């Protein structure tokens, strides 16, 4: 069974993370599949909306650290890097349905989505500094712009977790609903978007992101430089070694 499943229906590309034994942690093959899916969606006029989801108890536990550590330099050929830039520049609307754990990239990817719906069991965290790392995916600019500096510092510097209600209050998610109702709500919102004039929706998204797009791309690049340096530092190596021993 594929770790990324895809289905196109009524103009909606539904992408489902499907690696339950690893809590949907993303490996390099999954990043490649996600990037390819977004590239194909961008080129296909019949696809109007992307719906990204995990399972009812886990959206994504973040990077598969063991896989990531052996994946080489974070350059333009790296699958993770390719995904980050593709996500940041994707012109069609993306809806995320988040249940259970949303860790690391499982949270920061949501900052690029246009609508985010969360189950009441959703739990978010960006534990970069506890691992000796720094923010990624443009989160060091997108999060403070969304929630304010102090709250962004709470979650990016301290790496503290937060619940669905907190995510709703700060504006990271649009609505919180029961786990059993989440998939249907996200699907209905995707159908509504898909029923609207595509050119108007995409133009509106472009205008909404016009002032921040260049800054976001520049920030992703700056974060990658720092992330690469920290990844090979003694503190990070010690923290990750301790993580694997737990």
Other residues' Cβ atoms within 10 Å of the Cβ of residue 180: 10
| β-strands 4-9, 12-17 pairing | antiparallel
Q: Which two tokens stand for residue 207?
A: 């205008």
Q: Is 200 part of a structural domain of the chain?
A: no
CATH number at residue 173: 3.90.226.10
How far is residue 226's CA from residue 192's CA, in Å, rounded to a whole number?
Answer: 40
The pLDDT-based confidence of 246 (bands split at 50, 70, 90) is confident
Q: Is 246 part of a structural domain of the chain?
A: no
Q: What percentage of the chain's residues is helix, strand, coil (to nearest 5)?
A: 55, 15, 30
Q: Is 227 part of a structural domain of the chain?
A: no
Task: Yes or no: say if 136 and 105 are a contact pair by the CB < 8 Å rule.
Answer: yes
How far is residue 189's CA from residue 76's CA, in Å, rounded to a whole number?
Answer: 34
How far is residue 115's CA from residue 187's CA, in Å, rounded to a whole number?
Answer: 12
The whole-number pLDDT of residue 70 equals: 85
Give the range of the structural domain holding residue 77, as residue numbers without chain letter. 4-195
How far is residue 50's CA from residue 14's CA, in Å, rounded to a whole number?
Answer: 6
Residue 156 scores a pLDDT above 90: yes
How far is residue 108's CA from residue 96's CA, in Å, rounded to a whole number?
Answer: 12
The pLDDT tens digits for 164-216 are 999 999 999 999 999 999 999 999 999 999 999 999 999 999 999 999 999 99
> How high is the mean pLDDT of the chain?
96
Q: Is 231 part of a structural domain of the chain?
A: no
Q: Is 113 part of a structural domain of the chain?
A: yes
Q: Is 187 part of a structural domain of the chain?
A: yes
What is the pTM assigned to this prediction?
0.96
Residue 1 scores a pLDDT above 70: no
Task: Yes or no: say if 118 and 164 are a contact pair by the CB < 8 Å rule.
Answer: yes
Q: In what order do the strands lie in the sheet with 101-103?
A: 58-60, 101-103, 123-125, 162-163
The pLDDT tens digits for 116-135 are 999 999 999 999 999 999 99
Q: Is 167 part of a structural domain of the chain?
A: yes
Task: Yes or no: say if 57 and 121 are a contact pair by the CB < 8 Å rule.
Answer: yes
Residues in the chain: 246
Q: Is 74 part of a structural domain of the chain?
A: yes
- Split into its structural domains, the chain has a count of 1
The pLDDT tens digits for 11-24 are 999 999 999 999 99
The whole-number pLDDT of residue 14 equals: 98
Listed as own residue / partner, the contacts of 223-231 with beta carbons closer than 8 Å and 24 or more positions apart are: 223/134, 223/135, 223/136, 223/137, 223/138, 223/139, 223/140, 224/74, 224/81, 224/136, 226/134, 227/74, 227/133, 227/134, 227/136, 228/73, 228/74, 230/132, 230/133, 230/134, 231/69, 231/74, 231/133
């Amino acid at each position: 069974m594929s770790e990324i499943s895809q289905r196109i229906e009524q103009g909606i590309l539904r992408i489902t993370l499907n690696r339950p034994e690893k809590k949907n942690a993303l490996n390099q093959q999954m990043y490649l599949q996600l990037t390819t899916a977004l590239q194909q969606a961008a080129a296909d006029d019949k696809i109007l909306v992307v719906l990204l989801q995990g399972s009812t108890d886990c959206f994504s536990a973040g990077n598969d650290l063991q896989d990531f550590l052996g994946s080489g330099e974070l350059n333009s050929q790296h699958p993770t890097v390719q995904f980050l830039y593709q996500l940041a520049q994707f012109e069609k609307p993306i809806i995320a349905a988040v249940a259970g754990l949303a860790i690391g990239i499982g949270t920061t990817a949501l900052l690029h989505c246009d609508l985010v719906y969360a189950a009441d069991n959703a739990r978010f965290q960006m534990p970069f500094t506890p691992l000796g790392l720094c923010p990624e995916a443009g989160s060091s600019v997108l999060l403070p712009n969304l929630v304010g500096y102090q709250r962004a510092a709470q979650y990016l510097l301290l790496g503290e977790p937060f619940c669905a209600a907190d995510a709703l209050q700060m504006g990271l998610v649009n609505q919180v609903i029961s786990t059993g109702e989440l998939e249907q709500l996200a699907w209905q919102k995707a159908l509504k978007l898909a029923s609207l004039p595509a050119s108007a929706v995409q133009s509106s998204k472009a205008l909404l992101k016009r002032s921040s797009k260049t800054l976001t791309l520049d920030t992703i690049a700056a974060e990658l430089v720092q992330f690469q340096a920290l990844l090979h530092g003694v503190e990070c190596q010690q923290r990750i070694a301790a993580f694997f021993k737990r």
